[in-house]
Amino acid sequence: MKSEYIRIFGTLSGLYSCHIFSDAKLGDVCRRSLQCQISAGPLAICNGYMTDGICVCNSTISHEVAGECYETKYLNEYCRVDQNCLLPENPIGEDRLGLCYYGVCSCRIGKRPAKNNRSCIENRMMDQKCENDIQCQMTENAVCRTICLCETGFTRSKDGKQCLRAALKFGEPCIENEQCSRYLENGVCKKNVCTCPDKYHGYETRCRKDVKPDEPCFDDAECVISKDLLNKVNCTKGICTCTYGKSYDDNFCLSDAPYSTDHQNGLLALSFLIAVFINFI
Helix (H) or strand (E) holding 1: none
Q: What is the pLDDT of residues 22-54, one digit of tens each?
A: 788 999 998 888 889 999 999 999 987 667 899
Cα–Cα distance between 133 and 148 in angstroms, integer? Answer: 8
Q: Count of residues for the chain? A: 281
pLDDT 10s digits, 247-268: 655 657 887 655 444 544 554 5
Radius of gyration from C-alpha coordinates of the chain: 41
pLDDT at 249: 56
Check residue 265 and give its pLDDT.
56
The verdict on pTM exceeding 0.85 is: no
Residues of the chain with pLDDT under 50: 1, 6, 8-11, 259-261, 263-264, 267
Do 240 and 215 touch, CB atoms closer than 8 A?
Answer: yes
The pLDDT score that the predictor gives to residue 49 is 65
What pLDDT, on the 0 to 100 scale, is given for residue 65?
93
Angle at 101 between CA 122 and CA 84, to 5 degrees: 90
